[in-house]
A and B are shown apart, each in its own frame.
Chain A
Amino acid sequence: MEIQSSEKSCKDVALTVLTRTHAGYFRIALSLGWQALLWKILLKDSRMAFPLLTILWSFSLSILLLLSLLYLLRCIFFFDMIKDEFSHHVGVNYLFAPWISWLLILESAPFVTPSHASFVVLWWVLAVPVVVLDVKIYGQWFTKGKRFLTAVANPSSHLSVVGNLVGARAASKMGWREVSVFLFSLGMVHYLVLFVTLYQRFSGGDLLPVVLRPVLFLFFAAPSAASLAWYSISGRFDTGSKMMFFLSLFLFTSLICRPCLFKKAMRKFNIAWWAYSYPITILALASTRYAQEVNDGVAHAIRLFLLALSVLVIFGLLLFTAFHPNLLLDPTPSPTHHPTTFPTYLSAN
């Protein structure tokens, strides 16, 4: 849709932007948030890097603010679109994404320490919606007629698990051990169920459209997040964390060795490509903790490789997004409104 020079053009642009900005756009915020957290942890001992961290954090914050504002406007003006997202098996998981992004921005703030009162308040503000979504979605998994797990399970469901684990990690940083363990166990139990279900692939046909194949990277995002959360809870990178980290590493290698899975998704740039970035960042973060614990050559090599990869990927994605400003204005339907799901989209409520 071209920007015409009529007085309606602004309204048209605004309309298009709001209708196209679905929760999947928060992938950008997620990636930037995890990057900010990663660099904060890497450079936390270095005072010199403070300006760099602040710049990175501010950039992430501004993107997140923009996206949140757009999504809020969308909630106000196009609430039935939100409802459609909620009833879509992929879109519903991305409703966790805003809360995770805000939690990450909170944690990676260079000037806020976890014991600060504002941190605590903000944590509660952000964690409660996560738990509410949990209750709704996990409850559906084993009770609701049509939306039980084997019918709706798909790799993006890992995002709900990641949400719990990020909340657990933040809580343990605050010193709230019981809440942290509560969220951790909630996330892990459902991760177990989801892992088994997705590996079985009972329903046969992939519930994920081909263009969303990058979301497969979430397979190894969840165990890395679990490893980080357990590290925060137990205090050191012990065997449990190591095992989750190794599992994540194995799944990462397994996906990397299958480039043809992603071939069709790479034909045209779309917002789903951002799903490549944050799992790699989470894995890089976990490998940093691992290398701190096990101080040998192999661990450091893995850490450096993953760091380099994560920086490369996010830079690439930023460049791609900068050169495709019509991402928000592009009339190409978003994956939630995929033509094949149109009937369900229209009739779902």
Chain B
Amino acid sequence: MAAKEDSFDIALPPLIKAISANEVDGFDESKPSTVHPLSTSVFRIEAASMVKEKDGQGTRDISISMPPSPVEAHLQNTKRVFFTSGGGRVDENGEAKGARFHSQPMPKRNPVYDRRFDSFKTWSGKLDRQLSNLREQPRPQEFENLPVHRYFDALEGPELDTLRASEEIILPEDKQWPFLLRFPISSFGISLGVGSQAIMWKSLSSSAATSFLDVSPHINLILWLITAALTLTVAVVYAMKTILYFEAVRREYYHPVRVNFFFAPWIALLFLALGVPPLIAQTLPQYLWYVLMAPILCLELKIYGQWMSGGQRRLSKVANPSNHLSVVGNFVGALLGASMGLKEGPIFFFAVGMAHYIVLFVTLYQRLPTNETLPKELHPVFFLFVAAPSVASMAWAKIQGSFDSGSRIAYFIALFLYVSLAVRVNFFRGFKFSLAWWAYTFPMTGAAIATIKYSSAVTCRTTQILAVALCIVATVAVAALLVNTVVHAVVLGDLFPNDMAIAISKRRPRRRWYHKRSGSSDSNIEQYLKYIDSDEKDVEASLHSSSPNSQD
């Protein structure tokens, strides 16, 4: 049964209001039934006007605290207590036994011990006990592998992170979740963005074509140190998230857009190796390359194999611009290996990357009708198109030893894509800022670095001006993004909003109750009742979900 959550900010009609007290016979009783894990995290309002469902499937009759008025509820930010269906015990940690009758608002509880997030915790004792209590299901229902079409059904937006209006999530919506649950893997994009800047300033200071600018190598040093610190911080935090909230990490892995960001930490490490200042290390040991590429190889074997043979996650369905991140890692690795002097390894990764890049490029250009993730409007994620050809051109130049025709072909393709996006910059409007945007700046920087390399090979006024112009654009973009990030972090405080994408439910809600995203006290009961009967959104949602289902 899909559990849902309701807000108490609606003005309830007197009928329901009266019934919510403990006078109704059996209202607060709980039927003994098998424990549903979700019963511990969410609960359901039982209005006596509705038929009590006796499906014996683990329905919990739970009483909730009904505030006397919506305004008061809003002010108090009532903490909800939930029950298991075993006679009204709150939880096994020794809170009140027996059915609790709540007609008063409950006191605010310590947020540290908020049990609603236990279902995501890795080593929550509650989860283990629930697992052992379940008889018919070996795993909690919500925590089986989410099929990919659920992500498409429940989420929308270019990064698939906005919840559709008809969907519900299994974590509380109106409360700020623990920080680790709100920390997405796309935060590694910051390392990508700043790391590529470090490489760019290194090229600017060391390249012969741009020597007229007289760029100090210290900029590279400072940026490199910042990148190293950022990468370390993000890695530590995400490692803690993996240890403490493994379920959230698993859901990110099954998310069709976020899975590509699992390549980002390794690409960031490759950037660190590429941009290492001469002061710190002149040459890097060769075994380091093998160490850095091993995780990328394993991830690739898994993900490209899924494209080829994984039933639901075939490319025509899940292809989205973020897939470029899974391909660009090959080219970055080839570039690093070739600059270290290796021969065969870089060619290996270049070949694999090229083959899969061609597939991805064709698929994305086709904009297949079965592909649901491509945003209809332009979005910064499209800049990822520029990443692969520009890095491929640099890698090929390093492998061959000179910026030859193959590199130039790739470079010109990158330039063309860059220009065709740049002239449409007016259409990049009206998007919600997210940390993933940092990942989209590295293609611009990559194109700038490729231009610097190109101008070293073909040194003339035009190429030098082009190199400088692209570097300026990249720097300005990163600076603007930095300002935006600081503003969101410090002033607005929503740098890490609740990560809806990881909390979607396994099943679409069938019986939809009145659903509100944010508390507001002016909705009336007519709307409430209307939504119960209306199926308009249902039809729409089922239209979306029917096509992937019929193809699977």
Query: Hey, which bits of chain A sit against chain B, CB under 8 A?
Result: 192, 195-196, 198-205, 216, 219, 239, 242-244, 246-247, 249-250, 253-255, 257-258, 261, 294, 298-299
Q: Looking at the complex, which of B18-26, B241-249, B350-358, B462-470 is the stretch in contact with chain A?
A: B350-358
In the complex, what distance in Å separates the CA atom of A244 from the CA atom of B347?
10
23 residue pairs of the A-B complex, CB under 8 angstroms, read A199-B308, A199-B315, A200-B359, A200-B363, A200-B368, A201-B316, A202-B370, A204-B314, A204-B316, A204-B317, A204-B552, A205-B551, A216-B309, A219-B308, A242-B351, A246-B348, A246-B351, A250-B348, A250-B351, A250-B352, A253-B301, A254-B304, A261-B309
Report, as a range, how many residues of chain B touch the other chain: 20 to 34
Is B305 an interface residue when CB atoms closer than 8 A count as contact?
A: yes
Taking a contact as CB atoms under 8 Å apart, the answer to whether A257 and B301 are in contact is yes
Write out the residue numbers on chain A whose beta carbons fall within 8 Å of the beta carbon of B354.
243
Query: Looking across the interface, which residue of chain A has its beta carbon closest to that of B313?
Result: A201
Taking a contact as CB atoms under 8 Å apart, the answer to whether A254 and B315 are in contact is no
Closest chain-A Cβ to B347's Cβ sits at a distance in Å of 5
Is B307 an interface residue when CB atoms closer than 8 A count as contact?
A: yes
Query: Looking across the interface, which residue of chain A has its beta carbon closest to that of B369?
Result: A202
Taking a contact as CB atoms under 8 Å apart, the answer to whether B309 and A246 are in contact is no
In the complex, what distance in Å separates the CA atom of A22 from the CA atom of B206?
66
Q: A254-B308, A257-B301 are in contact. List 17 more A-B contacts (CB 8 A).
A: A199-B308, A200-B314, A200-B319, A200-B362, A201-B308, A201-B314, A202-B368, A202-B370, A204-B316, A205-B551, A216-B309, A239-B399, A246-B348, A254-B301, A255-B305, A257-B305, A258-B305
Query: Looking across the interface, which residue of chain B has its beta carbon closest to that of A219?
Result: B308
Write out the residue numbers on chain B whose beta carbons fall within 8 Å of the beta carbon of A196.
358-359, 362-363
In the complex, what distance in Å separates the CA atom of A40 from the CA atom of B351?
29
Closest chain-B Cβ to A74's Cβ sits at a distance in Å of 33
Taking a contact as CB atoms under 8 Å apart, the answer to whether B359 and A199 are in contact is yes
Write out the residue numbers on chain B whose beta carbons fall within 8 Å of the beta carbon of A247.
351-352, 355
Query: Looking across the interface, which residue of chain B has its beta carbon closest to that of A249?
Result: B348
In the complex, what distance in Å separates the CA atom of A102 from the CA atom of B225?
64
Query: Looking across the interface, which residue of chain B has its beta carbon closest to that of A240?
Result: B351
Query: Hey, which bits of chain B sit against chain A, CB under 8 A?
Result: 300-301, 304-305, 307-309, 314-317, 319, 343-344, 347-348, 350-352, 354-356, 358-359, 362-363, 368, 370, 399-400, 551-552
The binding surface of chain B is classed by DSSP as helix
**A199 and B307 contact, Cβ closer than 8 Å, known pairs A204-B551, A253-B301, A257-B301:** yes
Query: Looking across the interface, which residue of chain B has its beta carbon closest to that of A150?
Result: B316
Query: Looking across the interface, which residue of chain A has its beta carbon closest to that of B307?
Result: A199
In the complex, what distance in Å separates the CA atom of A258 from the CA atom of B307?
13
In the complex, what distance in Å separates the CA atom of A277 from the CA atom of B301?
22
Write out the residue numbers on chain A whose beta carbons fall within 8 Å of the beta carbon of B305.
254-255, 257-258
Write out the residue numbers on chain B whose beta carbons fall within 8 Å of the beta carbon of A195.
355, 358-359
Write out the residue numbers on chain B whose beta carbons fall within 8 Å of the beta carbon of A242.
344, 347, 351
Taking a contact as CB atoms under 8 Å apart, the answer to whether B344 and A294 are in contact is yes
Write out the residue numbers on chain A whose beta carbons fall within 8 Å of the beta carbon of B343.
294
Write out the residue numbers on chain B whose beta carbons fall within 8 Å of the beta carbon of A204.
314, 316-317, 370, 551-552
Write out the residue numbers on chain B whose beta carbons fall within 8 Å of the beta carbon of A201.
307-308, 314-316
Write out the residue numbers on chain B whose beta carbons fall within 8 Å of the beta carbon of A257.
301, 305
Write out the residue numbers on chain A whose beta carbons fall within 8 Å of the beta carbon of B370.
202, 204
In the complex, what distance in Å separates the CA atom of A249 from the CA atom of B297?
12
Closest chain-A Cβ to B409's Cβ sits at a distance in Å of 15
Closest chain-A Cβ to B544's Cβ sits at a distance in Å of 16
Write out the residue numbers on chain A whose beta carbons fall within 8 Å of the beta carbon of B355.
195, 247
Taking a contact as CB atoms under 8 Å apart, the answer to whether B309 and A258 are in contact is yes
Write out the residue numbers on chain A whose beta carbons fall within 8 Å of the beta carbon of B358.
192, 195-196
Closest chain-B Cβ to A237's Cβ sits at a distance in Å of 11
Taking a contact as CB atoms under 8 Å apart, the answer to whether B352 and A239 are in contact is no
Query: Looking across the interface, which residue of chain A has its beta carbon closest to that of B363?
Result: A200
**A246 and B347 contact, Cβ closer than 8 Å, known pairs A192-B358, A195-B359, A253-B301:** yes
In the complex, what distance in Å separates the CA atom of A203 from the CA atom of B551?
7
Write out the residue numbers on chain A whose beta carbons fall within 8 Å of the beta carbon of B308.
198-199, 201, 219, 254
Closest chain-A Cβ to B357's Cβ sits at a distance in Å of 11
Query: Looking across the interface, which residue of chain B has its beta carbon closest to that of A223?
Result: B355
In the complex, what distance in Å separates the CA atom of A249 from the CA atom of B400?
22
In the complex, what distance in Å separates the CA atom of A299 from the CA atom of B348?
13
In the complex, what distance in Å separates the CA atom of A254 from the CA atom of B310?
12
Closest chain-A Cβ to B349's Cβ sits at a distance in Å of 8
Closest chain-A Cβ to B392's Cβ sits at a distance in Å of 12
Closest chain-B Cβ to A254's Cβ sits at a distance in Å of 5
Write out the residue numbers on chain A whose beta carbons fall within 8 Å of the beta carbon of B348.
246, 249-250
Closest chain-A Cβ to B323's Cβ sits at a distance in Å of 12
Write out the residue numbers on chain B whose beta carbons fall within 8 Å of the beta carbon of A261.
309
Write out the residue numbers on chain B whose beta carbons fall within 8 Å of the beta carbon of A254.
301, 304-305, 308
Closest chain-B Cβ to A153's Cβ sits at a distance in Å of 12
Closest chain-B Cβ to A162's Cβ sits at a distance in Å of 17
Write out the residue numbers on chain A whose beta carbons fall within 8 Å of the beta carbon of B368.
200, 202
In the complex, what distance in Å separates the CA atom of A198 from the CA atom of B301?
17
Write out the residue numbers on chain B whose beta carbons fall within 8 Å of the beta carbon of A244.
351
Query: Looking across the interface, which residue of chain A has its beta carbon closest to that of B309?
Result: A261
Query: Looking across the interface, which residue of chain A has its beta carbon closest to that of B361?
Result: A196
User: Which of B300, B352, B356: most chain A CB closer than 10 A?
Assistant: B352
Write out the residue numbers on chain A whose beta carbons fall within 8 Å of the beta carbon of B319.
200
Write out the residue numbers on chain B whose beta carbons fall within 8 Å of the beta carbon of A243.
347, 350-351, 354
In the complex, what distance in Å separates the CA atom of A192 from the CA atom of B305?
18
Closest chain-A Cβ to B483's Cβ sits at a distance in Å of 40
Query: Looking across the interface, which residue of chain A has its beta carbon closest to that of B366?
Result: A200
Taking a contact as CB atoms under 8 Å apart, the answer to whether B351 and A202 are in contact is no
Query: Looking across the interface, which residue of chain A has its beta carbon closest to that of B552?
Result: A204
Write out the residue numbers on chain A whose beta carbons fall within 8 Å of the beta carbon of B356.
199
Closest chain-A Cβ to B121's Cβ sits at a distance in Å of 30
Write out the residue numbers on chain A whose beta carbons fall within 8 Å of the beta carbon of B363.
196, 199-200
Write out the residue numbers on chain A whose beta carbons fall within 8 Å of the beta carbon of B304.
254
Closest chain-B Cβ to A19's Cβ sits at a distance in Å of 33
In the complex, what distance in Å separates the CA atom of A254 from the CA atom of B400?
28
Closest chain-B Cβ to A167's Cβ sits at a distance in Å of 23
From B307, B316, B400, contact of A202 by CB (8 A): B316
From B315, B350, B399, contact of A200 by CB (8 A): B315
Write out the residue numbers on chain A whose beta carbons fall within 8 Å of the beta carbon of B362.
196, 200
Closest chain-B Cβ to A271's Cβ sits at a distance in Å of 22
In the complex, what distance in Å separates the CA atom of A243 from the CA atom of B352?
8
Closest chain-A Cβ to B10's Cβ sits at a distance in Å of 43
Write out the residue numbers on chain A whose beta carbons fall within 8 Å of the beta carbon of B344.
242, 294, 298-299
Write out the residue numbers on chain A whose beta carbons fall within 8 Å of the beta carbon of B309.
216, 258, 261
In the complex, what distance in Å separates the CA atom of A199 from the CA atom of B315?
7
From A200, A205, A255, A299, contact of B316 by CB (8 A): A200
